[in-house]
Amino acid sequence: MKKLLLTGATGGIGLAICDLLKDIYEITIVGRNRSKVDELLNKFKNINNFFICDLGNQEQIDSLLKEISEKSINFDILINNAGITNDSLFLRMDREKWNNVMQTNLNSNFFLTNTISKSMIKNRWGRIINITSIIAHTGNVGQANYSASKAGLIAMSKSIAQELAKRNVTVNCISPGFINTDMTSVLSEQQQQAILSKIPMGKIGSPMDVAHCVKFLASDQSEYITGQTIHINGGLVML
Q: What average pLDDT score do residues 108-112 get?
A: 98
Residue 63 falls inside a structural domain: yes
Residue 8 falls inside a structural domain: yes
Nearest to 93 by CA among 151, 132, 56, 141: 141
User: Which residue range is the domain that position 123 belongs to?
Assistant: 3-232
How confident is the model over 32-81, as pLDDT tens digits? 999 999 999 999 999 989 999 999 999 999 999 999 999 999 999 999 99
Compute the distance between CA of residue 130 and CA of residue 174 in angstroms, rounded to an integer.
6
Residue 185 falls inside a structural domain: yes
Residues β-bridged to residue 170: 127
Residue 15 falls inside a structural domain: yes
| Average pLDDT of the chain, as a whole number | 96
Say what the pLDDT of residue 15 is.
98
For the ranges 72-81, 187-196, 200-209, which has the lowest average pLDDT? Answer: 187-196
Compute the distance between CA of residue 198 and CA of residue 195 in angstroms, rounded to an integer.
5
81 vs 191, more confident = 81
Compute the distance between CA of residue 166 and CA of residue 125 in angstroms, rounded to an integer.
10
Residue 67 falls inside a structural domain: yes
Q: What average pLDDT score do residues 129-156 get?
A: 98
Using an 8 Å Cβ cutoff, are 112 and 61 in contact?
Answer: yes
Q: Is the pLDDT of residue 129 over 90?
A: yes
Domain of 203, CATH number, reads 3.40.50.720
DSSP readout, 79-133? EE-------B-GGG--HHHHHHHHIIIIIHHHHHHHHHHHHHHHHT-EEEEEE--
Is 146 an annotated catalytic residue? yes
Q: What average pLDDT score do residues 90-110 get?
A: 98
Greatest CA separation for the chain: 52
Sheet with 126-131, edge to edge strand ranges: 49-52, 26-31, 3-7, 77-80, 126-131, 169-176, 229-232
Using an 8 Å Cβ cutoff, are 127 and 76 in contact?
Answer: yes
Per the residue annotation, which of 146, 150, 153, 213 is the catalytic one?
146
Say what the pLDDT of residue 54 is.
98
Say what the pLDDT of residue 184 is.
74
Say what the pLDDT of residue 191 is.
83
Nearest to 148 by CA among 139, 159, 161: 139
The three-state secondary structure class of 38 is helix
Residue 239 falls inside a structural domain: no
How confident is the model over 6-25, as pLDDT tens digits? 999 999 999 999 999 999 99
Residue 237 falls inside a structural domain: no
How confident is the model over 215-238, as pLDDT tens digits? 999 999 999 999 999 999 999 999
Provide the angle, in degrees to the nearest 10, between the axes of the packed helices 144-164 and 108-123: 20
- Number of domains making up the chain: 1
